[in-house]
Amino acid sequence: MEQIGWFFGSLFFFLALGIPISMVLAICSVVLMITADAWDVMTIPNSMLDGADNFPLMAIPFFVFAGEIMAAGGLSKRVVQLAQIIIGRVKGGLGYAAIMASIIFAGLMGSSVGEAAALGGLLLPMMKEAGYDHGRAGGIIASGAILGPIIPPSTNFIILGATVSLSVTKLFMIGLFPGLMLGLGLMIVWRFIVRKDGYTEVLTFTRQECITILKDASPAFMLPVLLLGGIRFGVFTPTEGGAFTAVFAIAVCMLWYRELSLRELLRVSATAARTTSVVMLIVATATAVGYFITLAQIPTHIASLFSGFIDSPNLLLTIIMIFLLIAGMVMDLTPNVLIFAPVFYPLIQQAGIDPYHFGLLFILNLGIGVITPPVGTVLYVVCGIGNISLMQLVSKMLPFVLVEIAILFLLMYFPKLSLVPMSWLI
């Protein structure tokens, strides 16, 4: 129990000082090594190398690279136009189009921050020009961004699968239907908001404009189909699917749209490399922490704290979900996955809870954390792009967050909503 205090105490103390999370995790490794009386200068670097040297994690740089190419090469703009012609012909059409674009983008990028940045840059100026409340416009963009970690290809599902040895393919498939549920839930909330706020704008297109947009957006629409179909039917693994996505994005943006030059491709490559390096450094340092967490038997100690609830899986899940909602408010999604997945997975296995169902709830819960203060990364991205105050954004986004939490608990108490569709897909 003393080791638990040292771990969480050092973790939140150094986070409060504003130190980057990767460095905090490295410091926590040193603290745990000292308190466990297991001093060995090579243990931490060896653990970091072991953590980064993981084949499923190779998919991350590919998907990050593909997402950067799509954002820079014109594909993002065409996704938004496609969403507008699909669902923009009703009152409040821009809001519906934002949700639809979030669903499509999630199937392309797999990242909440990237999705918020791309859609915010394209849609927020249009929504402001149409007379939308600034906070409400930012709220629909931010709340839709959490579909990125749920709808495949999700980089967070890749990290979770690599961390606790689960099939990434099954994690991808279990996220598809709940992701669509979330999108539908956001649209229902938006319908009531349109009536309350009195939005009346309607998006209209001529027949020729629709044909042109559909033609231009067809590669964006086909990519998720080809990717998931290829993974589902064994044409390629998720890692190979990441490479396919990157090559597909390059071909479309450079040869089809011709909006991505070789110089721009090099710039995008550098940006993707920096983003990937940050993620992989967090993965490496979290692996070192995980080694000492296991050495100190912290999962066993935590399991003993929850042992009274193992015979009641729903109660156990409720307590864990509440804990993760709080954790998601103070720490970003990726480090939360790396720290808490090895802690909670042995516990839920003892309780007989399906590991893929728990993986969905785990990522969805922590995904909600990226749009909640004080450390919601998506919030700050949207605030920066839209020049919106944090308090204004949070207050106007509250209805969307509440429906997402409601869907989280609906999925928790009715696991067949996720497990049955997964069984159809695999």
Instruction: Split the chain (426 residues) into runs of 10 and give each run's mean pLDDT.
Output: 74 81 85 79 83 80 86 81 82 88 84 83 85 89 91 90 91 93 94 87 82 84 84 84 89 87 90 86 84 74 76 90 87 85 88 94 93 82 86 91 95 93 83
Provide the token pair at 402. 């509440």
Task: Tell me how long the chain is.
Answer: 426
Does residue 35 lie in a domain region? no
Domain that holds residue 369: 55-425
> What is the per-residue pLDDT for 413?
92
Question: pTM here?
Answer: 0.89
CA distance 116 to 154: 15
Query: One-letter amino acid identity for 156?
Result: N
> What is the per-residue pLDDT for 279?
84
Return the residue matching tokens 């490496």: 284
Provide the token pair at 173. 């498939």
> What is the per-residue pLDDT for 213?
85
Q: Do the beta carbons of residue 86 and residue 98 sit within 8 Å?
A: no
Does residue 365 lie in a domain region? yes
Q: Do the beta carbons of residue 365 and residue 325 sit within 8 Å?
A: yes
- For residues 127-164, b (16+ Cβ closer than 10 Å) or e, as one string? bbebebbbbbbbbbbbbbbbbbbbbbbbbbbbbbbbbb
Q: How many CB atoms lie within 10 A of CB 205?
A: 15
Nearest CA to 372 out of 417, 411, 336, 342 is that of: 336
Does residue 103 lie in a domain region? yes
> What is the per-residue pLDDT for 412?
94
> What is the per-residue pLDDT for 178?
95
- Please list, in sequence order, all residues whose beta carbon lies within 8 angstroms of the beta carbon of residue 66, skipping any fewer than 6 positions away: 108, 109, 242, 245, 246, 248, 249
Query: One-letter amino acid identity for 293?
Result: I
SS (H, E, C) 79-112: HHHHHHHHHCCCCCHHHHHHHHHHHHHHHHHCCH
Q: How many domains, the chain? A: 1
What do you get for the CA distance between the two ends of the chain, in Å? 42
CA distance 112 to 118: 10
CA distance 288 to 298: 14
Burial of residue 284 (number of CB atoms within 10 Å: 0-12, 13-18, 19+): buried
Q: Given phi > 0 = left and psi -120 to 50 = alpha, else beta, which region is 111? A: beta
Q: Do the beta carbons of residue 426 and residue 170 sit within 8 Å?
A: yes
Query: Helices 168-197 & 390-413, crossing angle to 10 degrees?
Result: 130
> What is the per-residue pLDDT for 376?
78
Does residue 49 lie in a domain region? no
Does residue 6 lie in a domain region? no
> What is the per-residue pLDDT for 41?
73
- Please list, in sequence order, all residues whose beta carbon lies within 8 angstroms of the beta carbon of residue 294, skipping any fewer than 6 positions away: 342
- Beta strand ranges found along 40-164 (DSSP E): none
> What is the per-residue pLDDT for 326?
86
Does residue 166 lie in a domain region? yes
- Please list, in sequence order, all residues whose beta carbon lies within 8 angstroms of the beta carbon of residue 388, skipping any fewer than 6 positions away: 134, 135, 138, 382
Does residue 26 lie in a domain region? no
Angle at CA 319, nearest 5°, toward 316 and 320?
Answer: 85
- Could you give the C-alpha distances from 141 to 33, 128, 301, 319, 331, in angstroms and in order? 43, 13, 40, 29, 21
Provide the token pair at 217. 């957006």
Nearest CA to 167 out of 231, 226, 243 is that of: 231
> What is the per-residue pLDDT for 2?
67
Nearest CA to 288 out of 44, 57, 49 is that of: 44
Q: Across the chain, which distance is largest between two alpha carbons, in Å?
A: 73
Does residue 18 lie in a domain region? no
R_g of the chain computed on alpha carbons: 21
> What is the per-residue pLDDT for 141?
92
- Please list, in sequence order, all residues whose beta carbon lies within 8 angstroms of the beta carbon of residue 49, skipping any fewer than 6 positions away: 284
Q: Do the beta carbons of residue 298 and residue 36 sit within 8 Å?
A: no
